[in-house]
Structure 1
C-alpha cells in the first residue's frame, strides 16, 4: 500500500455559527492536539493546532461577520493527526475544498462540496484519471419525472382548450361565449406558466 507523503489543502473553506465554535474546539481536542485559541480585536478568532509528534503547526483564522465565522485555508500537512483533523473539520462543517493527497509517484485529488467528496482524480505526471465522480441519480430521476408530469399537464390543458374552442364556435349565446372566454384565459395563463 502506498504511503502518503503529504496532504495539501487548496482553498479549503467552511462556515460556522458562533454556537458551533465550541463544537469545533471540542472536535480538535478529541484529536489529541495541542490547541491555542486567540480572540482578536475585531471579533475574529485564531485557532492554532500543534502536533507534538513532528512539531507541525496549523493556524485556522476565523473571520467573523454577521454572527458567523468563515475559515479559508491553504496549507500543506504531513502529520496524520493534523491531516485527519482538517478532513473532519471540512466534512463536519460542510466545507468546500480541493485536497491533494500526495504519494510517491502520484497524487490523488479530492474535491469536496458541502462536506462530501464529489470527485477523486488520480494524477501521474501529465496523466489524469477520474477514479470517482458523484452523480445525483435520484435528483436526475426526480427532475425527469417532473418534466414528464409537466408535459402531461400541458397536453391535458391543450386538449381542454381545443374542446372549449369547439364549444365556443358552436354556441350562440353571448353569456356562454363570455364564460368560455374566461375559462380560455385561465387555461392560457396556466399554459404560459407550465411552458416557462
Structure 2
C-alpha cells in the first residue's frame, strides 16, 4: 500500500522544476528587455540578474555565462528554421531543386540574423571561438554544403559552404546596417546574388 510520504520527493522535485522554469523565463525576458534597450554588448550578467530578480549564480548554473543567455534568446527561432529545413514545405524544405532551396535557406537565414543581430553578435563576441563555437553555425554550414554539392558536384562544396554564409556574421551584419546604412533587403539581395554567382546558379 502506498504511503502519503512516498509522493513527497516527487512533489518537491516538481516544485523545483517549476521554480527553475520560472527563473529561466524571467532571465530570458530580462535579457531581451536589456538587449532591446541598449544592445547585448553593453550588458553583463549582474544587470540581467538584477532585472530578472534572481541571483547571479542562478544564471551561471543555468546558462554558463552571458553568451549562453544571449544564445538562448535566439534558440527557439533557430529550432523553427531547422525544423523547416528538414520537414517544411518547399522551397525551404525538401522537394524543390537545390538552387531554389539554397536561395530560400539564405533568405531565411538573413531574416533570422536581422531579427537577432544584436543578441547573436554579443553572444559570439564573448565566446572563445566566436561564431564557430555555436552548434547552429555547423548546422547552417552543413545544409549549405549539401545543397551546393547537389547543384554541381564539381564545386568544392566544403569550402563554398563557409563562403555563402560568411556575409551573415552578426558582427558584419550590424556594421553594414548601423555604420554603412545598408537596409536588410539590400543585404539579403546581395547575399543571394553572391551565392548564385559562386555556385553558377
Q: TM-score range by the shorter chain?
A: under 0.3
Q: Which has the higher strand share?
A: 1
Larger radius of gyration between Structure 1 and Structure 2: 1
TM value normalised by structure 2: 0.25
TM value normalised by structure 1: 0.26
